[in-house]
Every structure is written in structure tokens, then in C-alpha cells.
Amino acid sequence: GRPGGPAGAPIGPRGLPLPGTPAALPQICAQEKIDEICVALPIEEHVKMLGIVEFASRECIDVHVVPDLLQFIALRARLEDLDGLPLISINDVPLRGFNAVLKRIVDVALSLVVIGVGAIPAIVIAILIKRSSPGPVFYRQERMGLDGKPFTVYKFRSMPVDAEDASGPIWARDDDPRATPIGRWLRRWDIDELPQFWNVLRGDMSIVGPRPERPFFVEQFKHRIPQYMLRHKVKAGITGWAQVNGWRGNTSLEKRIEFDLYYIENWSLTLDFKIMWLTLLRNRERLFHT
């Protein structure tokens, strides 16, 4: 049917007339040839919905409802059926079911290749780290991953063992003065992150996804930044959409979250490969501009 409404009715979004309130519905339908109505009521007025539906059923009018939930929906919403009961899944993500399996297959396959190819260079790096400063080759730290659950992340150690004993957790910087000489070199090329391919094999992380943070910072950010915890709807990644767009290290958290949520909502295997390729290009550019 055509968009209906009395002459002079106010115009709403997309040029559609707004005929009036629920109380005026019988009069409007008697005056106009209405075969469909669209109801957009705030949550506090949903008690009026039953009367509207009963009236529409008597008049053979189709009813469409616009849920007043937009303020809660940061990611995409999906309509589900629970034994005949319609449910709106808020903040649904594409990485479910077959998509999750497909992403996992790619993660495992590429991680095995990287670990195999990088085995000999890793031995050389381990020797350099041991000569640079006393302590273990690998640095272990608790991070927050999928569904806000903690896991242990692995890196090549780039700082002295006691670097945070006096200061406590400090936000990472590219020019961190605490880094050892070999550590600064590892960080410049992101080589310190390579052991995280082991995290990917274990299932803690994915190659592409939002970068994981420490519980200390997550506890602060989730109260300060709206929708921050939505980035935990997927596995954390070694690289991500925010990072390849320049939002890494000591940059705007809000912009980083914006790019993380874009990635989550618009995930595809093609986007993952694009991010991997851009990561390689970024490191190549840094190599030739050093």
C-alpha cells in the first residue's frame, strides 16, 4: 500500500508521513485507505502495542514494528526464533559457526608455516636476547581475550626482567626507554610479537583481530570508553584493522575501538587477508624508510 496519512501530516524520515498517535489510529484508518501501518513507540509506551495489534487484526491491516533498541545496538542485530518466540539478538557478530571454523583453519595453516620458516631465525634471536640482558628469552604476560577471559601471551623479551617493578604497568610506546638494544630492534619490526603464533595455534588468539590488553588496563577502559568490551566478542589478534590504519601504540583509544568494531561487524576472510597484506606492506615501508 501507499504511505498514508491525512493531508498536512508531518513528514518523517525518508519522506514518509507521520499520521498521528495510537489514539488517532481508528479515525485515520477510516479516512484513508490504509492496509499497512508501521509503529514506532518508545519502550515506555509499548503497553499500547496490544491495542494497536487488536485493532489492526479486526481491520485486516498489516502491522510492522520498529523496536526502540537502537541506542543499545553497537554491532549488527539479528532476528532469531526460539520455539516460535521471536528474539532480537543485539550485538551479533558474523564470526560464528562456519565462519569461525574457516577462520580457524586459516589461522592454524598460516601459523604452522610461520613457525616452521621462523624456527632458525628464532634461535638466533634467542641468542641475541640472552647476550643483551640476563633473563628468559620469552616474556609471558596475562592478557584479556575472547569473552573477556584471561590468557597468557608470549613475546620475545624486549626489556629487562625488572622493568616494571618500580613503575607498575605502563602504556607501551614505540620509543620505550626501558627496552634493551636488541629489544628496540625487535619492537621496530614487530618481531617481538612472533611467538604469538604459538598463541594462535593454542586457540588463545587469531592472526587478525583486536590487539589484547592487560587486565589492569581493561578494567579502566571498560568503565571509561563506551562499548569497549565489544572488542572481546572475537579472539584477540596479532595484527588488526586499527593497527594497519595507524592506530597502534600510544594513539587514540577511541579511534582504535572504532576501527576494532568496524572489523568485527564487517568481518570476512577477504578482510583478514587484506589486513595481513597491509601489515606486511607497512613493515616493508618501515624497512626502507629507516
178 belongs to a structural domain: yes
Pull the grid cell for residue 61: 491491516
Q: What is the pLDDT of residue 169?
A: 67
Q: Are residues 149 and 269 in the same domain?
A: yes
Structure confidence at residue 111 (pLDDT): 98
> Does the pTM exceed 0.75?
no
In terms of domains, do 176 and 245 share one? yes
59 and 106 fall within a common domain? no
**pLDDT tens-place values along the chain, 290 residues long:** 444 444 444 544 545 555 667 777 888 887 877 888 888 777 777 778 888 888 888 888 888 887 766 655 556 667 777 777 777 776 667 788 899 999 999 999 999 999 999 999 999 999 999 998 899 999 999 999 999 999 999 999 988 887 766 666 666 666 677 888 898 889 888 899 999 999 999 999 999 999 999 999 999 999 998 889 989 999 999 999 999 999 987 788 899 999 999 999 899 999 999 999 999 998 777 655 55
Is residue 220 assigned to a domain? yes
**Same domain, yes or no, for 170 and 208?**
yes
Distance from C-alpha of 74 to C-alpha of 92, rounded to nearest angstrom: 9
- Domain enclosing residue 26, as ranges: 13-68
Judge if 182 and 262 occupy the same domain: yes
Task: Look at residue 2 and tell me if it is in a domain.
Answer: no
Q: How many domains does the structure of the chain reveal?
A: 2
Are 28 and 114 in a shared domain?
no
Q: How many CA atoms lie within 13 A of 68 on its CB side?
A: 9
Contact 225, 74 (CB under 8 A): no
User: Has residue 77 been placed in a domain?
Assistant: no
Say how far apart CA 78 and CA 87 lie, in whole Å.
8
d(CA 242, CA 275): 10
CB atoms within 10 A of CB 25: 21
Residues 274 and 140 in one domain: yes
What is residue 270's predicted lDDT score, i.e. its pLDDT?
97
- 133 shares its domain with 187: yes
Residues 61 and 117 in one domain: no
pLDDT confidence of residue 82:
75
Do the domain assignments include residue 258? yes
155 with 254, same domain: the answer is: yes
For helices 181-188 and 119-132, the axis angle rounded to 10 degrees is 150
Residues 31 and 109 in one domain: no
Q: Are residues 135 and 57 in the same domain?
A: no
